[in-house]
Amino acid sequence: MAQSESKEAAVDGAEAILKCQAGDTSGLEALYRLHHKAALRTAYGIVRSQDVAEDVAQQVFVELFQSIRRYDSRRPFMPWLYRIVVNVSLDTIRLRRPADASLKKVAELPSPAVSPEEAAEQAELREAVWAALGTLGPKHRAAVVLRYYGGLTEAEMAVALSCRPGTVKSRLHTALERLGTILKPEDNAGEKEIARSALSLRSQLRAHEMEEV
């Protein structure tokens, strides 16, 4: 069933892209329904403000419609979309420097089938990772968000970040080294903690069908 739904979404997305490229706004509406949540969550991870992330997500789809004729349909769509999300997010940070935000709204949601002790541990971990992410520069933070929260491969990240694969590796290495020092100074376990936090957060967002980050 899930595989069938995934194929249907891919077909719907391809049709929507063709409509957008023809200037049909119904295609944009379809792409918005399919990808708005992913754009919003990614923007939120980078700009660290829900209100600003919502503005970013809206602008992303405006720019998508304006530039989609340049999209090469032979290449994966999502890395191309994430490139717009990252660029708009970074431009927004440069212009607005949004205030930091907490994960209180998400942290209050219990993960499915976990004990109160495990739920408390997960919430503490998310808060620790969120605070540590705030110490990174925007480009390094974007790399971490795309890899661990978006699930992109390094090749896809290179497209989204408009840089070479070697630069992706370097940014991830630098970011994880810093995060590891903050999160687990004794064993430099930053990557493990981030992965656990991302998995917990993604499972909560999907389980509760959140409309907003």
Q: 130 and 50, same structural domain?
A: no
Residue 213: domain span: 102-213
pLDDT digits (tens, 9 = 90+) for 3-47: 444 444 555 889 999 999 999 999 999 999 999 999 999 999 999
Q: 109 and 84, same structural domain?
A: no
Question: Residues with Cβ < 8 Å from 18, sequence gap 6 or more?
Answer: 27, 73
Q: 85 and 116, same structural domain?
A: no
Query: Is residue 167 left, alpha or beta, with left meaning phi > 0 and alpha meaning psi from -120 to 50?
Result: alpha
Q: 202 and 188, same structural domain?
A: yes
Alpha-carbon distances of 87 from 38, 40, 59, 193, rounded to whole Å: 15, 13, 11, 27
Between CA 59 and CA 152 the distance in angstroms is: 22
Q: Residue 12 belongs to a domain with what CATH number?
A: 1.10.1740.10
pLDDT digits (tens, 9 = 90+) for 40-76: 999 999 998 989 999 999 999 999 999 999 999 899 9
Residue 180 is predicted with a pLDDT of: 79
Instruction: Indicate the number of domains in the chain.
Output: 2
Q: 155 and 124, same structural domain?
A: yes
Mean predicted confidence (pLDDT) in 177-183: 81
Residue 96 is predicted with a pLDDT of: 76
Q: 92 and 107, same structural domain?
A: no
State which H helix or E strand residue 10 sits in.
helix 2-21
Q: 85 and 10, same structural domain?
A: yes
pLDDT digits (tens, 9 = 90+) for 186-196: 444 556 666 66
Residue 158 is predicted with a pLDDT of: 97
pLDDT digits (tens, 9 = 90+) for 73-118: 899 999 999 999 999 999 999 987 644 444 444 434 344 454 666 6
Between CA 50 and CA 43 the distance in angstroms is: 9
pLDDT digits (tens, 9 = 90+) for 122-132: 677 777 778 88
